Amino acid sequence: MSTGRDRGASSPQLMRRANRQALMQHALRAEAFTAADAMAATGLTRATVLGVCAELEQAGWLREVSGGRDEGVVQRGRPARHYELRADAAVLIGVDAGQHTLTARAVDLRGRELAAVRRAIEGSLEPSSGGDGAGDESAGRARVQAVRGLVEQVLEQAGAQDRHRLLTVVGVPAPVDASGHSPRGDQGYWPAMNPGFVDVLDGRVLVENDANLAVLAEQALGDAPAGRGPDHLAALLMGERFGAGLIVDGHLLRGADGGAGEMRFLDGVLGDSRGADGVAALARRWTLEALAAEEASTSLAKIPRADLSAVDVFTAGREGDLLAQGVLDRIGDRLAHIAAILSSLLGVETVVVAGAIAEAIGPVLERSHHVLPQISTPPYPALRASTLGRDVVVCGAIELALTRLRADPLDLLSTDRLTD
């Protein structure tokens, strides 16, 4: 049990930490600032502000800058000292560790981009079907090495190899629990997509579900009139697989083991054993089924079955191919049903289709808007395509890193040189 003496001894340390926290939070929000600016923002005394600024300057997180004088204005006494954040003192890294493509972005402490790298993964790194799991372990090690190499590459391009790596946020196509691990499940797909990144990557690492990062990006950066997205929002990643990031009452829904937003329930609701297939998978599957049934197509029938892609289907639909248009209508019907379910069950007011598919989703959304009133009752959710394109997950990773930094800078910043 702590004694009164223990509490008395620790209270000055707690006060110093609180003062540093308040100053760093102000520095992260402000440009160059004076002691008076910091006093107004934090409520600290002038002596405390100047003392903490000196400590943070010595630790390498602030620097004193020239404040200048207004031309033609006579000033008496010593000019005010100006400080600013050393935004280049460390880097934040966001990674989208997708199934087929890896993307990394490095930013400074203000969130300004320093470099970005994108790399296709050789092979899909899907888990093996059957066997002793050795193939999955090998794929996991290869995946870790690919992400580690990507991070080093983006740091090199940013010229930041020697800077403090403050936080790396990694988005994966799998549920993620509070410790950064994915549960075993989905026939081994989840642990294959997240082979323990939180334990094996260098520095401070946070792993999050990719759809969760997408919805955070949409709320913070998406096409919202007020500059911030709604407090009841769903972001759908609908490439090969279908996942949802959900914000309700302004809070991200996570669920047990991070399972909120996993859409496996669609298998039963939609009467389809592969109900969670994404747009790309559906476009291929339904097109191949229609071709096998000898439905007529002006262009798709000419493409070798093994080479058929979702891009081919969308292109054919724009060119008037009736088979492709029928497939896109079916996808629009499915999207309308999913939006209606999310709106009714969770009360989301906006459903955003995010990821690379958003650039081509227009015809599908038109169909969904037409179908919604036929299958649901008002109020209908707003359905729109993301404007963040294929970078939505890495944007969300950076946004989460910045949010963590601004909320609790001393939790991330190296303060070894500060004395208590």
Q: Residue 165's pLDDT is what?
A: 93
Q: Residue 286's pLDDT is what?
A: 95
Give residue 268's pLDDT: 65
| 118-134: b (≥16 Cβ within 10 Å) or e | eeebeeebbbbeeeeee
Q: Are 183 and 177 in contact (CB under 8 A)?
A: yes
With a cut of 50, list the residues of the chain below it in pLDDT: 1-9, 69-74, 124-125, 129-134
Looking at 250-307, which runs of residues are DSSP E strands? 251-252
Task: Please tell me the predicted confidence (pLDDT) of residue 187.
Answer: 73
Distance CA 239, CA 30 (A): 39
Residue 420, helix vs strand vs coil:
coil
Determine the 3-state secondary structure of 104 from DSSP. strand
Give the tokens for residue 357: 């598919």
Spatial separation of the C-alpha atoms in residues 28 and 22, rounded to whole Å: 10
How far apart (Å, rounded) are the C-alpha atoms in residues 155 and 165?
Answer: 9
Token pair of 2, please? 């702590």
Query: For residues 310 and 364, is the Cβ–Cβ distance under 8 A?
Result: no
